[in-house]
Each structure stands twice: as C-alpha cells, then as structure tokens.
Structure 1
C-alpha cells in the first residue's frame, strides 16, 4: 500500500496565513525524506481555514526544492479555469520536475458561490461541461490535438517535452468516479469530506465501468483520509481536540482557523455538541501509529485501494511532522535513492 500526503495549507490561530504556505514547503521536504509517494496541494478560495489558493504555484516551489517525491494538485478546481491555461501551467511544472507531476482535477468550487462567480462568472456552466473540459485538457497536457472539429485544434500547450503529468480525477460522489472511469484515469475518493459515506459505491462504479487507457490499462483507486498519529494515546487525544472543535464549526458551515488544543479544551460544549463529538471520535483515525496504521490497512482492504493519501491538520507544525514520521516508520516506508523518481 502506497502512502501519500494531502496538504490544505491549513490556517491556524495565532499565526498569519502566509506562514501556512511556508510550512507546506517544509512539510513536503520532510515527507519526501520519509518515503511518501506523492505530495498533493489543495485549492480553496476566500477561506479562513485554508491558505492554499494557487496549488500550481505551491507545486512549483515544492517541485523545485525536492528531488523524487511526486508533486501535484488535489486538486485544480477546473470550472474556474480554461483547459488550455491549466495545461500550460502543468506543462511548465512537468518541465521543472519531469516525471513527477500529478494533475488532480475536481469539479467542486472549493469556495462559496460568490467567490466562484468572482473567479469565473460562467462557473456554473463550466461545471456542467466538466467532462468535455477534461477531454480537452487531457489532449493539451499530453501534447496531443483536441478532437476533430475542435475550434482550437491547432493550438498547442507549451512547453512540449517527452513526459506528461499524470492526470487524476478527485471526488466525493459517484460523479467523479464515472468521469474517471470513462477517461481511464486514476480516481481518488475524498473520504475525509464524507467520513467514508459513499466511498464503497463510488469506487465500485469506478471499477465496474472503467475503460482502459493507454497510460492506465487498469483502474487505480485511492482514498484520502484525515489521520493523526502520536507517541501516546493521551497525546493523540490532546492534539485531536483541535480537529474536534473545527469539525463542529465546519458542520455548521463555519470555516475558521484551526484552534489550538488548549483553545478547544477551553470551549464550553453543549449537550448536542458532546453527542456529535462522540460520533466523530468513533469514526476518526487518531491514536498511536500502530492503531492508526491498522485502521488504514483495513480501509484500504475494504475499498481495494492501492493508495491512501493522508491529510493531517494540526495546530503545531512539529506535531504534524511527527505524525507523518510515525506513520511512515510503522508502514515501513523508505525514501528512494537520491536521483530516482518515485514513479
């Protein structure tokens, strides 16, 4: 089972949002040294919770300061952009780090409706045309021409080169699974968004309807989960307090900066909130590394996932690095020799 990383450049209380971007770059280097397979950067806009508004720029910084870990997006929210421009951006990234770039695509806005409109006044229409936009993007990013009769068939996405980014479809519903299967692309289900609801159905549809492609003759399924490992159960529970309070807000539609465990401990919880926290703790993946890894392996087996991407949002940057370290050691990850790409 491959382990990878999803990073949202989480904003935390007491630190400026720009610090989250620098922490992402440092964490990517840390995870490369541990042997993680991929490092994916998320896209969110107008958020007090996540600072990662431009994954293509953050990917460039990470790719330029790492040597073998795959680096990519999870994802580029395609309805905001023209397919040609995204193809050009990721062709440039591929030139920076040949054979190491992933282009994960999503259809969700990654923002509120007003912000989505500010990014692209035609975003709603673009979302409806998502499959056609994916089709065009696949051609351009691979150095091929769009379909016959396309008005921009003779337009090329530079810089050309011998390798191309690996395109993924990301989603938390059946829709993304169907698009990935139709185009013969890898698919990652956002388990951390739904707490696993819908994962089995989406991944089953993906495998049952998969159409082999030249690059991916067989389906490749991954799931992305929120997980936290610490040296002791007590420390894990303490660190998890931040996630607990933040999730209570998210479930009400409030996307705030991640509080510290101490701030969360000082919060006065209502009876309803305590009930909801009990359900959250039952489903959550946190604890000592052996406990968390056992649950991750069980999830991978349940969903026949070849890969798991781990999202860990903690207030303390050192504790977050420690969590990834513990999971890597428990899983037996080992960094490849310098100079070898993690293909």
Structure 2
C-alpha cells in the first residue's frame, strides 16, 4: 500500500457540442460544470483552446475563464491551454493579468505549442506568423517574465497586483517536458491524447532535468486523464459509447457533435471498428465510481503524482456532473 496522500483532483473541460443541441449551449454547460465542481471541492478548472472543430467548440478560453471566475469562489481557473504561437506573449500576459485581478490567486496560465486546429485555420488565426512554433521557447521566456516581473524588455504588463498567474507548460511529448524543466515551470501531460503513451519517459525527463525557479523550487507535474464514473459499470460503459463513436469517426477524419449513447448502441460498431474500441476499453478509466477511483489512485501512485486532471465527455450534462460528484466523494474532496 502506498504511503502517498490521496491525490487532488482537477477538471479539464472542452465545451463539447452535443447532437440535438446548438454549439453555444456547450459554452453555457461549461459554466454550469465549473460552478458544480467549485462546490464539490476540485482543485482547478481548466479550459482548452480548439479552432475549426465542430466537436470541441471552446475557442477562447481567456474569455470563458472570466465568466467562470464570476460563477465560482474557490477553484483555480486556467487555460489548457493557450496555443501560444498564435499570439503575442505580451497580449497573453495582459489578458491573464486582467483575469488575475478578477480572481486573485486563482489563475493558471497553461500554454501549448500545438495549433489546436488544422493548418489553414492556424494561418487564419495568425496570417503573419512565420516559424512561430520555433519561437515558442522565447515566447515562454517572455511570458514567464511578463507574468512575474514588474518590467521586462522595458515594458510593463498591466494591471499589476499582489498576485501573478501561475504558468504551466502543456504537452503530450518529450519536447514540452524538457522545456518545462528548463524554465523551472509546472508541467501537465495530456495522457488522454494517446491513452498514456510516452507518459513515463516525459515525466522522467521533466524530473531529472528540472532546473529550480524562484516560484517553483521543485518539479510539479500532473497528467490529464479521460474518465467516466457512474452508479454501475453497465451505466458507465453505456455512456462511454458516445466518446468511443467519436474516436472511431475521428480516425476516419469525420468530426461532428457527440452522439447520444442510445443512438450509438442502436447503430453498433463494424468489425473494422472493434480493434479501436477494444484498445480504448482495455485502458479506459470507465466504470462504477469505486472501480474508476481505484484505477486513478493506482495511476497516481505509479507516476508519483499528487494531482490528477479529469476530462469527461457525456452526451447528457447531468451524467457528466454526476461522474464528477461520484469521484469527488471517492477521493474525499472537501465541499467548498
């Protein structure tokens, strides 16, 4: 039995569009979920940035964060993340300093290098960018300075205040892990992107190469896992059909809103689909609450983590909220 304390739990929300509902409803559901998880005692509520996708419609996390700040009192609020090559580091620093003024001591600034969409969309977001991904380390250096120092390069990022956003590096490869280690920043690995492939190597690189910074003298790592808990294993497996259908379709280049599990069950999967579905189910954190919690605790112990970020998709918002409530109970979170 591990002597490590029970890991803290956080949330990643992606504002997933649902069949039978408009895309804007997904944004409002995000706000409801943030309020719900704040009351349950979750540590953080992170919001993703994607562009040009009909499934994941959260395209402006910095705006949504302001709305979440107005609806919550305790939970930390963050981006997971701002796709930094699309933007000027100074503007991002100013945006997050404004957010810090709205929710003092509660703002996380997670940044990533990926475009968060296809190449054409990335060019439309920043038509004047050339080699912007290669400039990512310098952007991170500038952002780290503008969010922690009064002045950098002769420029002040306003508004100033007693608190500063906490900068995180997000990634799903060794690159982000090494960059976070170099700058002495917290690191979050996107475990759910590839069902954990490469996570051990990334975390090992991050920890062994970590260079302490003033704000973060020791490495601070987490992983983001997709999980779904229900009152029974059968219920959880049924609701997970929605995401399984989406993953199968994504491999074919087909994107759309999340389908209802009853529809997916009625249509079934083809023989060609089953290898993908079976591979997902072997690694899935899906089932009754106690079962899912045991798997999550085992993962945290295996990776020596004291925090996990949970991402959950379900066609019914109430099912998603119930899953987070069940896991909060299993992990002994203290209600706000």
> TM-score, with normalisation over the residues of structure 1?
0.94
* Corresponding residue of 2:83: 77
* Corresponding residue of 2:320: 320
Deviation at 1:121, TM superposition (A): 2.2
> Do structure 1's residue 43 and structure 2's residue 27 form an aligned pair?
no
Gaps of 5+ in 1: 147-152, 337-343
What is the distance in 1 between the residues matched to 2:222 and 2:313? 20
What is the distance in 2 between the residues matched to 1:101 and 1:270? 45
Choose from 57, 63, 67 the match for 2:63. Answer: 57
Is contact 1:63–1:96 with CA below 8 Å preserved after alignment?
yes
Choose from 62, 73, 78 the match for 1:67. Answer: 73
Question: What CA deviation, in whole Å up to 9, does each residue of 1:123-172 have, x standing for no partner?
Answer: 451110100000001111223433xxxxxx11211101111000000000
* Corresponding residue of 2:24: 18
Question: What CA deviation, in whole Å up to 9, does each residue of 1:40-97 have, x standing for no partner?
Answer: 0000001101110000000000011111100010000000000000000000000000
What is the distance in 1 between the residues matched to 2:298 and 2:191? 14
What is the distance in 1 between the residues matched to 2:33 and 2:71? 11
> Do structure 1's residue 297 and structure 2's residue 300 form an aligned pair?
no
Is contact 1:143–1:160 with CA below 8 Å preserved after alignment?
no
What is the distance in 2 between the residues matched to 1:18 and 1:74? 20
Secondary structure at the aligned position of 1:128 is classed as coil
* Corresponding residue of 2:3: none
Choose from 99, 120, 127 the match for 1:114. Answer: 120
What RMSD, in angstroms, separates the aligned Cα atoms of the two structures? 1.0
Deviation at 1:34, TM superposition (A): 0.5
Could you list the structure 1 runs, at least 4 aligned residues long, displaced by more than 4 angstroms after superposition.
none
Note the 1:1-343 alignment, pairs <5 A: 1-123=7-129, 125-146=131-152, 153-336=153-336
Distance 1:303 1:122, change over 3 A: farther
Is contact 2:150–2:160 with CA below 8 Å preserved after alignment?
no
Question: What CA deviation, in whole Å up to 9, does each residue of 1:208-228 have, x standing for no partner?
Answer: 000001111000110000000
Deviation at 1:335, TM superposition (A): 2.6
What is the distance in 2 between the residues matched to 1:275 and 1:69? 39
Is contact 2:240–2:261 with CA below 8 Å preserved after alignment?
yes
After superposing the two structures, state which structure 1 stretch, 266-275 or 52-61, moved more.
266-275
Q: Number of residue pairs matched?
A: 330
